[in-house]
Amino acid sequence: MGPKKKSGINLTFTPKPQTSEGTTTTTPTAPSPATDPAEIQMILDARHRNPFAFLGLQHSGTGSGMVVRTFQPAAESITAIVQGRDFPMRRTHQAGFFEAELPELDHRADYIFRVTDYEGHISTQRDVYQFPTLLGDQDLYFFGEGTHRGLWKVLGAHLIKAAPSVQTAPGGDFSETDPVNGVRFTVWAPNAWRVSVIGDFNNWDGRVHPMRNRDGVWEIFVPNILQGAHYKFEIIGRDGDLLTKSDPFAFYSQHGIDTASMVYDLDRYQWSDQEWMDKRASHDLYHSPMSCYEVHLGSWKRKTEEDNRMLSYIEYATELVDYVVEMGFTHIELMPVSEFPFDGSWGYQVCGYYAPTSRFGSPDEFRHFVDTCHQRGIGVIMDWVPAHFPKDDHGLAKFDGTALYEHEDPRMGEHMDWGTLIFNYGRNEVRNFLVANALYWLKEYHIDGIRVDAVASMLYLDYSREDGEWLPNEHGGRENLAAIEFLKQMNMACYEECPGITTIAEESTAFQGVSRPIDQGGLGFGFKWNMGWMNDSLDYMSKPPIYRKHHHGEATFSMIYAYTENYILVLSHDEVVHGKGSMVNKMPGDKWQQLANLRMFYGWMFAHPGKKLLFQGDEFAQTAEWDHDQSIDWHFLDYPEHAGIKKAVQDLNRLYISEPALYEIDHEPGGFEWILHDDAENSVFAFVRYGRNSERIVVLINATPVVRANYRVGVPMPGFYEEIFNSDSELYGGANTGNQGGIPSEAYGSHGRDHSIVIKLPPLATVFFKMREV
């Protein structure tokens, strides 16, 4: 790490001599008696503590008259136009400090500047220091309290109209003139010595627009800035360090090496998904189908013929949405789209929490993608990362020179494994930043659900730490009480403000009540990823069939705790990276057996209680691990056996959506009943799924490559049992072993039931039978 920059550097601007005919170089003159040269120097050094009390139109301090001052390094000459009269301003410092005495004026009248730059261009400008404070006291109060649910409407950069505050007569009340367009910049930096907004509108010069301090929140209105302007905040920390920071509330940001924030108008987009939003508000997701397709936008599909170019939001609105509709998924779950600097983090090291990444387009283009999903009947879930943030210089780390968003003590404030910092959830403003951010995505982008990443790391103070590397809570325990309270507040706010949405926890421990209501002692999430099912199932499936009888309990264990949480069964991106192998390559046996095992496993997953999630590429058995820098291997669909896997997933989705018994009672015992869970010798499993209106689907799984002919299994009712799914179908690349469309029950008791069916159970297969009364 190199030496820190200090604020004592005088960024002087050397004016170009005027060479036009008839003009001469401007020579600085002495300031007026009303102006202290020391204060001018403080402006030039960007260390004046109250520029709004010195710049602009001020009382002269000499007993009568006014004086107007401005610092504009790019100006060759300036005229102040006050009440229709021209007052040429004197350059009193060569760096670009101008002033004019107005001895006959005795109140804060309206004025504008006529500015001539060194290329002879003339413009009229409003002075930023003639505008009043624009941030409301109530906004500041709620922010300090940590309860401002619309915080993004207050902090950040906002295109607004503002009117200068002027007096029409001495001693008169202040009134506003006609408003002008511009941008209100606001940033929280309570420990900063000075904050300026810098950008392409002021040559990135921190001396030009120092901001007003409002109890640690700094603000300024700069006229005539348009959408697309690039900006950052230049901050002098308490110890004199000079920092350049992106806006934590930026709606649009650069990514990669360039990290400027960009002014963006969020009020222009016209949504076309009102029908979806109206239905969402009353939708009962717990008793509805939910099959998620997890997508990494940087690698789902690339244009290899165009230098491996990533698709845009606009292209995704067609290509991805068409594919998801074709496949029958109900939701797309996006890996993080909040702006992040490093592609290799997959989006999980966020610097721009309020900006959809510009890798794929603009904020409104991302809205178009979500809008299109909704119009096509697809919900959108996004991964959200409130657990930690990176140390990048332009980001949240040491934002105002102090540990503002993070803890000062690394035992509380740093994830050593990940090289990232942990939010200080006990600080009101930090908690408010995060809660408002969740609401921002739900409201401004119509996101339907938020999957919270790395919840386990938030819940426990000793997460991935050895003794001596963490601090206990106030009761001596390991629970992070502030993080727990934050998660409750976040969930409460989301469900209160946005009915019909869902929040999902990626949580891998035995913490109780993650997806239980807050008033019942839970954290208030809607769902929890079922990491236990994923680990046990993949471990079981990886075993050669001959050994599976010794691990029979691993395949049934998930039903012991299936109703302790509202679970989602997940086969996510984490299972196909870092040497874990692709999903199909986790399966044992030769190529035919691997594909048969995978078809069986997917059928089992869709029959098991719980919502579903499948990662991109798994739906057609991609053989390579996921690579975030490359498109998934679409050419595999040219092979019939892989196209067959895709067809099986497609049919499972459609069957899942159309059969209430497979989704209506996911989270309570009435939706599932074992028929057979102890046939370890044959590695056969059988159970019934129930719907609310007496729908019944009998599911059998044969986890060996042996055909089980004449296999008798008890059934819940007499009737005809139609075979509605068979993973061994030739349509999916199987051997087509089956039951010729179905089989009637017999009045022959089996497995504790009065009726049974005798079937041919295909090898390495899952079969669904739907009971139809005769």
Catalytic residues: 453, 506
Q: CA-to-CA distance for 671 and 663, rounded, in angstroms?
A: 8
Query: Using H for helix, E for strand and C for coil, what is the string for 573-630?
Result: HHHHCCCCCCCHHHCCCCHHHHHHHHHHHHHHHHHCCCEEEEECCHHHCCCCCCCCCC
DSSP three-state, residue 372: helix
DSSP three-state, residue 141: helix
Please say whether the beta carbons of 711 and 698 come within 8 A: no
How far is C-alpha 521 from the chain's CA centre? 27
Q: CA-to-CA distance for 216 and 235, rounded, in angstroms?
A: 12
Radius of gyration in angstroms for the set of CA atoms belonging to the chain, rounded to a whole number:
33
With both helix axes pointing from N to C terminus, report the angle between 313-327 and 640-658 in degrees, rounded to the nearest 10.
80
Q: CA-to-CA distance for 83 and 102, rounded, in angstroms?
A: 11
**Distances from the Cα of 565 to the Cαs of 327, 385, 481, 506, 612, in angstroms?**
28, 22, 21, 12, 14
**Distances from the Cα of 689 to the Cαs of 14, 606, 664, 668, 769, in angstroms?**
80, 11, 10, 12, 10
Helices (H), 237-312: 274-281
- Which burial class, exposed, middle or buried, applies to 679 when counting CB atoms under 10 A from its CB (0-12, 13-18, 19+)? middle
How far is C-alpha 107 from the chain's CA centre? 50
Phi–psi pair at 7, nearest 5 degrees = -80, -5
Report the b/e string of 445-480 with b at 16+ CB within 10 A: bbbbbbbbbbbbbbbbbbbebeeeebeeeeeeeeeb
Q: CA-to-CA distance for 747 and 757, rounded, in angstroms?
A: 9
Tokens of 207: 């001396």
Please say whether the beta carbons of 656 and 663 come within 8 A: yes
Q: CA-to-CA distance for 598 and 646, rounded, in angstroms?
A: 11
Q: CA-to-CA distance for 84 and 98, rounded, in angstroms?
A: 20
For residue 6, give the DSSP letter. B
Which is nearest to 198 in space by CA: 170, 234, 156?
234
**Distances from the Cα of 465 to the Cαs of 458, 461, 574, in angstroms?**
13, 8, 22
Which is nearest to 607 in space by CA: 692, 528, 700?
700
Find all residues with CB under 8 Å of 702, minimum gap 6, and list them.
600, 682, 683, 684, 708, 761, 762, 763, 764, 765, 766
Please say whether the beta carbons of 180 and 206 come within 8 A: no
Q: CA-to-CA distance for 323 and 311, rounded, in angstroms?
A: 14
Element containing residue 413 per DSSP (H, E) = helix 410-413
**Distances from the Cα of 397 to the Cαs of 107, 246, 406, 413, 585, in angstroms?**
44, 11, 7, 11, 41
Please say whether the beta carbons of 213 and 184 come within 8 A: no
Q: CA-to-CA distance for 725 and 743, rounded, in angstroms?
A: 14
Query: Using H for helix, E for strand and C for coil, what is the string for 231-249?
Result: EEEEEECCCCEEEEECCCC
DSSP three-state, residue 414: strand
Phi–psi pair at 14, nearest 5 degrees = -95, 115
